[in-house]
């Protein structure tokens, strides 16, 4: 019996995540969207690619949550992007309503599932999903750190002209301007990058990582990143489905770890069959700790707007 992953939102991120999952033969995929025809068309197109890829998976597109029943993992990408003239609070309130509606429908069909939240603003949406689902914190995880770390790794590899396989990088905190890349814990083949890259150049790479999403939006003009966000999501899905016990930076609900309680913040997480299996606490310098607390304060502010 193959595993089952449902993806809510058949836009670029959701559909590309379905593509990665199917091409890795990780699970059968159900693509759900409110727009009639879009999930059905994209799912059928992907299904027809499977003989070429030599992958035996079922890909289904639907507007009906009944098709998502008994999913092992549900990825939620649903939500709207910020439009010109729209305030941050307008965006927050709109996506809060969408997330609340989606989660109630998902949970009704798959009460044992693990939720991976991708919708923005990420940390506040993960908090919304957690409160709405009524699951324990192990089964509601936010995707941001894997993406932010991948961007940082890409820039480091490019800078040093080394294989991306040699590069590990850690980014903590909220997803956005207040994220906290940690050069001390970032290495190339085990060598700290602080020994390989001059401080002023390293700061530029850190800033480029913080601006990673905005840099892509600037180029695309009418859209945002989706290849890397969807690949990051699928790395989390794979770690859970294969019970890999993989340590990845994810948004998790903290209960005192890092001196923070009651909010979703990006921290190193061990992912396995139970979802979030452990939060790894690493020693931070006073500066890093202050940056993480500042990031948590920004998340708290967003959550206050929507009352979660």
* Domain 4-142, second-level architecture: 3-Layer(aba) Sandwich (3.40)
Report helix angle 12-23 to 227-241, nearest 10: 50
Question: Domain-by-domain residue ranges, the chain?
Answer: 4-142, 145-306
pLDDT values of the chain reduced to their tens digit, one per residue, 308 residues? 899 999 999 999 999 999 999 999 999 999 999 999 999 999 999 999 999 999 999 999 999 999 999 999 999 999 987 777 777 788 899 999 999 999 999 999 999 999 999 999 999 999 999 999 999 999 999 999 999 999 999 999 999 999 999 999 989 998 878 889 999 999 999 999 999 999 999 999 999 999 999 899 899 988 889 999 999 999 999 999 999 999 999 999 999 999 999 999 999 999 999 999 999 999 999 999 999 999 999 999 999 999 99
pTM of the shown model: 0.96
Triad 19, 57, 75: Cα angle to 5°: 50
**Catalytic annotation, residues:** 175
What is the rounded CA–CA span in Å between residue 223 and residue 12? 9
Q: In 3D, which of 118, 120, 76, 124 has the Cα closest to residue 101?
A: 76
pLDDT of residue 46: 98
Condensed to tens digits (0 to 9), the pLDDT of residues 135-160 reads 999 999 999 999 999 999 999 999 99
Q: Counting beta carbons within 10 angstroms of the beta carbon of residue 144, is it exposed (0 to 12), middle (13 to 18) or buried (19 or more)?
A: buried
Topology at the third CATH level for domain 145-306: L-2-Hydroxyisocaproate Dehydrogenase; Chain A, domain 2 (3.90.110)
Q: Residue 140: what pLDDT?
A: 98
Q: What is residue 269's predicted lDDT score, i.e. its pLDDT? A: 98
Give the pLDDT confidence score for residue 91 in this predicted structure.
85
Q: How far is the CA of 286 from the CAs of 186, 261, 283, in angstroms?
A: 18, 19, 10
């Amino acid at each position: 019996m193959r595993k089952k992953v449902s993806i809510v939102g058949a836009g670029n991120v959701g559909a590309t995540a379905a593509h990665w999952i199917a091409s890795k033969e990780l699970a059968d995929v159900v693509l759900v969207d409110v727009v009639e025809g879009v999930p059905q068309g994209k799912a059928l197109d992907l299904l027809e690619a499977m003989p070429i890829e030599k992958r035996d998976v079922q890909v289904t597109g639907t507007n009906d949550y009944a098709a998502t029943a008994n999913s092992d993992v549900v990825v939620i990408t649903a939500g709207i992007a910020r439009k010109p003239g729209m305030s941050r609070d307008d965006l927050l309130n709109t996506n809060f309503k969408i997330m609340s509606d989606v989660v109630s429908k998902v949970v009704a069909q798959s009460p044992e599932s693990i939720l991976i939240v991708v919708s923005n603003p990420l940390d506040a949406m993960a908090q919304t999903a957690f409160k709405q689902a009524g699951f324990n914190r192990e089964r509601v995880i936010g995707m941001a750190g894997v993406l932010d770390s991948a961007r940082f790794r890409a820039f480091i590899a490019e800078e040093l002209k080394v294989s991306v396989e040699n590069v590990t990088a850690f980014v903590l905190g909220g997803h956005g301007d207040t994220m906290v890349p940690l050069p001390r814990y970032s290495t190339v083949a085990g060598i700290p990058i602080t020994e390989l890259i001059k401080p002023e150049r390293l700061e530029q790479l850190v800033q480029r990582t913080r601006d990673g999403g905005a840099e892509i939006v600037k180029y695309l003009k009418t859209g945002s990143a989706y290849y890397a966000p969807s690949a990051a999501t699928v790395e989390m899905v794979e770690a859970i489905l294969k019970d890999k016990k993989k340590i990845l930076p994810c948004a998790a609900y903290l209960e005192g770890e890092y001196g923070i309680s009651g909010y979703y913040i990006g921290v190193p997480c061990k992912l396995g069959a139970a979802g979030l299996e452990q939060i790894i606490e690493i020693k931070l310098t006073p500066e890093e700790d202050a940056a993480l607390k500042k990031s948590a304060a920004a998340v708290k502010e967003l959550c206050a707007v929507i009352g979660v």
